[in-house]
Amino acid sequence: MLKEPGTITVKTGSMRSGKSGELIEDINAHKRAKMKVLVVKPAQDTRDGDQIIAKEVIDGKPTNIKLPVDANFVSSRRDIMRLIKKTHCEVFAADEVQFFGRWFIKLVQELAFERKMIVLLAGLDLDAWRKPFGIMPEILAHATYVDKCQASCFVCGRPAQFTQKLGGDPTKTVEPGDHYEARCFRCHVMPEDLMAESLGASIIKASTV
């Protein structure tokens, strides 16, 4: 949907809630309206390369559900300002904004309310421990529009708002790879509890062999 200059729109929700897909739709809508759109993502999030990708699990496999959009890796205010100057963009779009530092909060307000740009953002609201993720609470507070996207629980199919970490290191918030799925409050388990459960199961399995 087209937005007016001087606004910040945020798509948020859990992993697999469709927020990146909605961001891609908004980016494409503004491109179709012949606006110049700058698309960025945090340099540390190398999971999908230099693209914004909307994935859904179909037949057990993560599958791209929309055509990916090219994005520029950025890690500082300077990177972004340089690209804005170079592209003369009217629309600024960023995915996975929960990974940016606090400098990003001030920057997006400046772009929207001083430069009168259209700002389109997407990011995870909560981490796998159900705690607010990085700068997201402040980004949401400054937003003009917030769309909270709903996933379906991978276990029971009910509406889901939490991200389940399925493997890897239970102390790390972010890891590359597909170690996550959406779960409802009934089925969500803290990462360390899930690891303990699967460890317990493998001990039982080993002792019964």
Binding-site residue set: 180
Cβ of residue 136: shortest distance to Zn ion, in angstroms? Answer: 23
Identity of the residue, 98 or 161, whose beta carbon is nearer to Zn ion in the bound complex: 161
DSSP the chain: ----SSEEEEEEESTTSSHHHHHHHHHHHHHHTT--EEEEEETT--TT-SEE--EEEETTEEEE-S--EE-EEE-SHHHHHHHHHHHT-SEEEES-GGGS-THHHHHHHIIIIIS--EEEEEEESB-TTS-B-TTHHHHHHH-SEEEE--EE-TTT-SEE-EEEE-SS-TT-S--SSS-EEEE-TTT---HHHHHHHHHHHHHHHHHH-
Cβ of residue 138: shortest distance to Zn ion, in angstroms? Answer: 30
Which residues, including other chains, have CB under 8 Å from residue 4's CB and lie 6 or more apart?
118
Alpha carbons 161 and 14: distance in angstroms, whole number: 6
Identity of the residue, 156 or 199, whose beta carbon is nearer to Zn ion in the bound complex: 156
Catalytic residue among 96, 114, 138, 175: 96
Identity of the residue, 24 or 160, whose beta carbon is nearer to Zn ion in the bound complex: 160
- From the list 109-117, 128-136, 186-194, 197-205, the region that binds Zn ion by CB under 5 A is 186-194
Cβ of residue 12: shortest distance to Zn ion, in angstroms? Answer: 20
- Total residues binding Zn ion (CB under 5 A): 6
Identity of the residue, 41 or 188, whose beta carbon is nearer to Zn ion in the bound complex: 188
Cβ of residue 194: shortest distance to Zn ion, in angstroms? Answer: 14
| CA atoms within a 13 Å half-sphere pointing along the CA-CB vector of 58 | 6
Q: Which residues are annotated as a binding site for substrate?
A: 180
Cβ of residue 133: shortest distance to Zn ion, in angstroms? Answer: 21
Query: Is residue 184 part of the contact set for Zn ion (CB under 5 A)?
Result: yes
Say if residues 25 and 138 touch (Cβ distance below 8 Å): no
| Binds Zn ion by CB under 5 A, chosen from 29, 43, 146, 187 | 187
181 flagged as catalytic: no
Binding pattern for the stretch 125-164 against Zn ion, x by CB under 5 A and - elsewhere: ----------------------------x-xx--------
Applying CB under 5 A, the residues found at the interface with Zn ion are 153, 155-156, 184, 186-187
Catalytically annotated residues: 96
